[in-house]
Amino acid sequence: MLSRVAILAGVGLAAAMAAPWSAAGEPAPPPPAVPDVNALPMVSPVEYSALDNRYFAFGTADGLTCALDRTNGAYGCSGPIPAAPGGANMVSGGAMSAPAFTTANRPVFDHLAPVKQLPPNTRMSFRTVSCTSDGVATTMCVNSQNQTGFVLTPSGSFVLTSNPLLDRPEGTNPYSN
């Protein structure tokens, strides 16, 4: 299912890049479809405890380290983010704030190492944040509290400003085109 996200993310990114050259008055392309992360089987976050249980952290096959902060609800991933805007190497968000991409001068979550890799197509959840990875090159986190999150894929990495599974036009279905 997550491979579908990668394809749709690439289509969405291509459409977004073409938008400035489209004729005036054409509607903006819809955001890429995002799978229901919370429908995936959940791993026990206790098995992923790091730094004296302050974090739940996991690694991905493509070299990212992702963490959920148990004290303040912040979450994010750092490392070689595929197709990151501006070459960013970190994306993070707070319990109540939308995530954003940034560039750090060092790997931000290295102090949590070593971390266990999250099995493909499972999720780790803490409070209102759930994260998953397809085991290849797609990682995503969603925050049900403020309907935001991020998707990291080789075809385009982006921030979700609202969760299309919950915030969508009436009569539309996020699971089909």
Rounded to the nearest angstrom, the gap between the alpha carbon of residue 53 and the centroid of all alpha carbons in its chain is 22
The tokens of 70 are what?
């148990």
Cβ neighbours of residue 44 closer than 8 Å, sequence gap 6 or more? none
pLDDT tens figures, 49-106? 999 999 999 999 999 999 999 999 999 999 999 999 999 999 999 999 999 999 999 8
Give the pLDDT confidence of 123-158 residue by residue, as tens digits: 999 999 999 999 999 999 999 988 899 999 999 999
Query: Which segments of 4-110 are extended strands (E)?
Result: 49-50, 55-59, 65-69, 75-78, 90-93, 100-102
User: b/e string for 10-44 if b means 16 or more Cβ within 10 A?
Assistant: bebbeeeeeeeeeeeeeeeeebbbbbebeebeebe
**Mean pLDDT calculated for residue range 11-31:** 45
Which H or E element spans position 129?
Answer: strand 129-133
